[in-house]
Amino acid sequence: MFHAGINKKAGEEFLGQADKLEEACGVFGIYGSEKDVARLTHYALYALQHRGQESAGVAVSDGQGIKVHKGRGLVADVFSDRVLTDLTGHMAIGHVQYSTMGSGLAVNSQPLVCQYLKGNLAIAHNGNLINAQELKEKLAADGSVFQSTLDVEIMVNLIARYGQGLLEEALLKAMRDIQGSYALVVMTEDKLIGVRDPYGNRPLCLGKMDNAYLLASESCALDVLGAEFIRDVAPGEIVVIDQAGLHSRRFLPSVERALCVFEFIYFARPDSNIDGINVMEARRAMGRELAKESPVKADIVLPVPDSGIAGALGYAEALNLFFDMGLMKNRYIGRTFIRPEQNERNLAVRLKLNPVTKLVVGKKVAVVDDSIVRGTTSKKIVKTLRNRGAAEVHLLITSPPVIAPCYYGIDTSERAQLIAAQKSPAEIREYIGADSLSYLSIEGLYRALQQETGFCTACLNEEYSLGIPPEEKLGKHCSEISSRQRKEAR
């Protein structure tokens, strides 16, 4: 839980970030609509719900002030008709949060709303700062107080410090201090701002609906509202929407783009397009590439729903194999990965997926999933399929092994928990109990994405383009400090 603690290393008092959130989230913003902006934002959050199920929030501005409603749970749990009716205004921002390790304190929900020199400000963030600890210590030493463990609160403090002139200028200065990944939506009483970090690590796109401008983590949120996709916000771009329309500027010298490849592997919704790549097509192509690299003679191809479906389609079509939805997903429980404790996760996998016994009895089954993180899901699936009479179970993974933690917002866990950081593919196959296990190669992944450069692949090859948190560098290697300890150190 959040607490003020003692930084033993420095011997100084500082504000702890014991349960720091991993901020792989979804953000949305709308400016200038005559329609009910709070309701539109909450619909958009439904479309972004896959990006975070722990908390949701909407802040609206009516030109005079900002109102916010946020809370823990799914969008449907947090918003009622009455709440939405009370949120009146002409612009709004929204956020869905994905958190881990029991960190779901209400105070950590977004958007964060505060008052600074120039008035009210609401802000929502997707990403993760790598120099958060350092900045927080500096700010705290200078007298800042913090109420949450959110990186975005650090940004708000920086904006407040630089906030003598235009908000854009304050943001620009703050962006020079922060390092890491961020897609931000910021709202004052009279303007909406979207910002994407210089590496473009997290997605953010721009849309239009009648006279209104929209910003969204993924284009599927624009589709759902019937809005037109205009373009992706460029890496290092700051987009300002106000009465005068839309203005844009680059805030930092451009660096080579490092868009998170895991958005394509797992995180984003297949109907979204990110930086010109359709997620569904990319996943299907990953399946086809895997079929070229590792064909198996199977009687049936089964996807692990939902994230394995596109890859399994590609795999089956490339090899002309029979495809069926032989694993039934219970849609009424959240993603198992989110459950904090291991024993809960095991149960969650059983609750979540059940095979259609008739389809698998006596069959050589090829099971396709997008990734293996801890190995929990795959092990359970293989065991269940064998129990139901499958003759052979082959596991096909449409991404390379996840060998390293992500510091930029996707919760791919601490190294000690990543099975591919600990075991070779042969050992993983044995642990999981499959007849064979094949991963897509990194070259195959690039072929599927039709681009070799421009992606952050740190979790797959440890190339951390955005750098690593200084506290990680203290140890001999990143693995020396678990992410839990890292969180506690904050």
Cα 285 to the center of its chain, rounded Å: 22
Contact between 339 and ligand AMP by CB under 6 A: the answer reads no
Query: How many residues form the binding site for ligand AMP (CB under 6 A)?
Result: 18
DSSP secondary structure letters along 326-393: -EEE-TTS--GGG-SSHHHHHHHHHHHEEE-HHHHTT-EEEEEES--SSSHHHHHHHHHHHHTT-SEE
Nearer to ligand AMP, 234 or 448 (CB): 448
Contact between 414 and ligand AMP by CB under 6 A: the answer reads no
Coil, strand or helix at 122: strand
- Contact predicate 219/272, CB 8 Å: yes
Q: Are strands 364-369 and 300-303 parallel, antiparallel or unpaired?
A: parallel
Interface segment toward ligand AMP; rule CB under 6 A; list 174-182, 219-227, 354-362, 404-412: 404-412
Contact between 126 and ligand AMP by CB under 6 A: the answer reads no
Count CA atoms closer than 13 A to 177's CA, side-chain side: 22
- Per the annotation, the verdict on 25 as an active-site residue is yes
d(CA 201, CA 192): 21
Nearer to ligand AMP, 210 or 427 (CB): 427
Contact between 411 and ligand AMP by CB under 6 A: the answer reads yes
The correct pick among 233, 373, 390, 489 for binding ligand AMP (CB under 6 A) is 373
The correct pick among 119, 270, 295, 375 for binding ligand AMP (CB under 6 A) is 375
Nearer to ligand AMP, 217 or 377 (CB): 377
d(CA 218, CA 232): 9
Contact between 171 and ligand AMP by CB under 6 A: the answer reads no
d(CA 302, CA 386): 14
The correct pick among 263, 370, 392, 471 for binding ligand AMP (CB under 6 A) is 370
Nearer to ligand AMP, 207 or 405 (CB): 405
The correct pick among 337, 408, 439, 455 for binding ligand AMP (CB under 6 A) is 337
Instruction: Report residue 355 as tokens.
Output: 């095979």
Residues 285-309 as b/e (b if ≥16 CB within 10 A, e otherwise) read: bbbbbbbeebebebbbbbbbbebbb
The identity of residue 232, as a single letter, is D
The distance of closest approach from Cβ of residue 425 to ligand AMP in the complex, given in angstroms and rounded to an integer, is 14
Nearer to ligand AMP, 67 or 374 (CB): 374
Given 25, 220, 260, 478, the catalytic residue: 25
Coil, strand or helix at 86: helix
Contact between 382 and ligand AMP by CB under 6 A: the answer reads no
Coil, strand or helix at 147: coil
Contact between 181 and ligand AMP by CB under 6 A: the answer reads no
The identity of residue 433, as a single letter, is G
x/- contact string, 433-472, with ligand AMP (CB under 6 A)? ----------------------------------------
Residue ranges in contact with ligand AMP by CB under 6 A: 266, 304, 307, 335, 337, 369-378, 410-412
